[in-house]
């Protein structure tokens, strides 16, 4: 395989501080860089080994969707999938997501992975996955995973 995962996901927010607080509180993420760029600010939030969220907050007079094909004009992201480091991390992240009201805590058993969905403060849908086995058959969405109380 020529790729080794995702380097970054570029996300637009209207409140960088709120965004960063959520990812720090739930995922123990850290800010590695802040800069003023063109029409706003860029904050790089480290969420894993060589993986970051590039968070842009645009100045108030710049529309959030510009001409398609330009920076910030590529359209929406349906959701982002984040890989939990291990089972203990998955359980802790799920607990934190439920505590802050970002998730109902339902865990789907996809066969190869367990998954819990959440919404961040900007409404971006996210998913945290716990990889189980590449050999397991794939189960349909909505299949409840055993061992997780809501």
Indicate the pLDDT class of residue 138, thresholds 50, 70 and 90. confident
- pTM for this entry: 0.80
Q: Which helix (H) or strand (E) holds 17?
A: helix 16-27
What secondary structure does DSSP assign to 77-122, as a single string?
A: --EEEEE-SSHHHHHHHHHHHHHTTS----EEE-SSEEEEEEE-TT
Whole-number pLDDT of residue 72: 58
CA dist 119 and 23 (Å) reads: 11
- Angle (nearest 5°) at CA 47 between 44 and 125: 95
Q: How far apart are the first and last CA of the chain?
A: 38
Angle at 116 between CA 52 and CA 46, to 5 degrees: 10
Residue 136 has pLDDT above 80, yes or no: no
Per-residue pLDDT of 57-109, as tens digits, reads 887 765 555 534 455 555 556 788 999 999 999 999 999 999 999 999 999 99
**What's the mean per-residue pLDDT of the chain?**
86
CB 9 within 8 A of CB 56: no
């Amino acid at each position: 395989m020529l790729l080794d995962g995702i380097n970054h996901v570029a996300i637009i927010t209207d409140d960088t501080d709120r965004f960063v607080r959520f990812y720090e509180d739930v995922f123990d993420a850290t800010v590695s860089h802040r800069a003023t760029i063109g029409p706003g600010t860029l904050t790089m939030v480290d969420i894993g080994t060589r993986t970051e969220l590039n968070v842009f907050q645009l100045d108030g007079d710049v529309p959030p969707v510009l001409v398609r094909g330009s920076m910030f004009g590529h359209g929406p992201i349906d959701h982002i999938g984040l890989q939990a480091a291990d089972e203990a991390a998955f359980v802790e992240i799920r607990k934190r997501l439920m505590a802050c009201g970002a998730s109902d805590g339902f865990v789907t058993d996809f066969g190869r992975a367990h998954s819990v969905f959440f919404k961040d403060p900007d409404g971006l849908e996210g998913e945290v996955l716990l990889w189980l086995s590449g050999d397991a058959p794939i189960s349909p969405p909505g299949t409840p995973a055993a061992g997780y109380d809501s």
